[in-house]
Structure 1
Amino acid sequence: MAPTTTATPATDLQEQRMKSIKDFDETKAGVKGLSDSGVTAIPSFFIHPTESLTKSSSKSTLSIPVIDLSQLHSDDHKPKIIEQIHHAAKTWGFFQVINHSSPISVLEETITAIKTFHEQPSEVKAKYYGREEGRGAMYASNNDLYRSKAACWHDSLQVWMAPEATAEEEIPEACRREVVQWDRHAKEVAEAVLELLGLGLGLERGKFKDLDFCGTRVFVGHIYPYCPQPDLTMGITSHTDPSMITVLLQNQIQGLQVKHGEEWVDVEPLHGGLIINIGDMLQIVSNGEYKSVEHRVLANSNRESRISIVMFMNLSHSTWKESAEGGKYYGPLPELLTPENPPVYRDFTLQEYLDNFYTKGLDSKSLIDKITLIKRDN
């Protein structure tokens, strides 16, 4: 007769946790629904370990660089702008651009539309709720809800814009026009910034555009509603972005922090400004010249929701290099490699890149750690 087995206390706790997560997920109401219901205590699966909640102990006077693009087309001023962006990407990995090509009215319309979507009744949003990433339009709370060690206090609307654009009728009506409009404007800003970043590396004009570094684009509209226990959870946990670059538009509610050295620095949103950050892929392509840095969002203690709209820009799958065996791969740009500047990273496959992102929760530079050949201070 086979011996009977009983679940260990740890197994019981894990099963209870997964049931709580599943029950929450099946409401399709997200954390906005919890917040609107008036809860005074957050569910236990949102509680993060103390070490990941540590706030910066110093009152930092640092701030990410602000770069004025108003003189971008001036032959006299453009070299200075290239130098500013190169230095910001190399030392901070984050910067804020002002006087860019996007009208403030478009920025405000986009923020308002995403806020309107998230403030709709749960039953209206529920038809977009899902977990199938990689295409179409999807509303969910925490894209890594079942993969992360602790959930974060935000909901998101994700819309794939390229290379296979989501059909307009599939985008929620509350923000349909604004999502399509913002994709066009954010791409224009991203291409202008990428051109400057390429020139800063000494590459020929148009190199990054020819490589289609904005060929894959994902629109993500986050809401960070009021959290009754903000000291126990996070808005988004510390991570780096896996993309080339990210274009971030947000309302005036603070929460974003960037890690600079060993210090977490608050990012103050400027009216009309757009935040740009370097992703893991651009760090690799630049052979470590540009830095992808950790950033996070604190849980929102304000009664007004924080809105952030993220456009992730990455190269299209069609521009990945083809190996002799037929697989697709990428790595540092050959033009940047010399005997004095050998490759810091090995080539890696498209499948390796995708698996690294979709098989775990958000984290920091896990792909970069796997492919590093030469250690540098990043």
Structure 2
Amino acid sequence: MDMLAGFAGFLTGYIVPFLVVLTLIVFVHEMGHYLAGRWSGIGITAFSVGFGPELIGFNDRHGTRWKLSAIPLGGYVKFLGDDDPASIPDYESVAALPEAVRKRTFLGAALWKRAVTVAAGPIANFVLAIAIFAVMFSIYGRQVADPIVAEVRPDSAAAAAGVKPGDLLVALDGNPVVTFDDVRRYVSVRPEMKIIVTVRRDGNDLDLPMVPQRTEITDQFGNKVELGLIGIVTNQETGNFRVVEYGPAEAVWQGVVQSWHIVTGTFDYLSNLVTGRMKADQLGGPIRVAQASGQMATLGVAALLQLAAVLSVSIGLLNLMPVPVLDGGHLMFYAVEAIRGRPVGPGAQEIAFRIGMALVLMLMVFATWNDISMLLG
């Protein structure tokens, strides 16, 4: 009985929130492909959330099979003339089709139509994230604090550089600072990197060089994360904590800004990964995403939606990477086609797709290994 209760708790606490978040992101991504393809006049034979055997589905009046499949770790839109869900064209079958039908295949579409259709998936992910952030900012506003130092931790980078309580941070490496969160965001992804912190003290601006210390912290759920810290703290009285309310247009713009922060933060993390300033064990897979979904669900729907926004940006960005089988890989081929004036040969494409699939599988295995190591460790 206790085992059944534990399984039920795991199912409702982790799996269900994970599937809700993932299904939303996948559906929006594939809908971007679908809508762009329909607009471009390309025939679509299937729209699937999930892979593998079909669980339920129906055919619409345009001949598209809409279905929910058994493996809920992705999805696909299959266009007319595709050999498989990865949108690898079946050249022989397309060549055998009548001219009128061939023009409706993905392979027979104009280059710009193919590019727009492929790019629409990641773009839809960015739009989803912006929409979620905009709605959250419209409803709840945004809590901000002035970038004024209330306390300097002893033996910290800020203390060594001469930062004092009462200092107003005005710039980081020349980039203007508006809120204390701007400081936290900029510093956290720059462990062991020299930065110039400009503070205003008694009306004078001082440039203070310092190196954020790489520090392991534990969040409220017990998860350990490494980031850069300089050792400054603000508080309610000094930082003037307040909630800023936004109108619809301002909320959308703030959604764009927040999504851009995720993009730049991702590139900063990858840069730190390559240079060894951060460990690769922070790269998570589906198990860690499921765990995060369950944890955010305990904080409420708003927190879970914000996680969905973050993941949507990450998935959109990942899909734009120039790796064959990903959307970015297809766009890379189209760029080559535009330059050469003719498509890359079927043989070369097949080899590239195999290599791309191997790279994606290796990344998935590595991320899943990190997840398992986290659970066991």
TM-score (ref. length: structure 2): 0.24
TM-score, normalised to structure 1, is: 0.24
CA radius of gyration, larger in:
2
- The structure richer in helix per residue is 2
| Greater RCO structure (CA 8 Å; 6+ sep) | 1
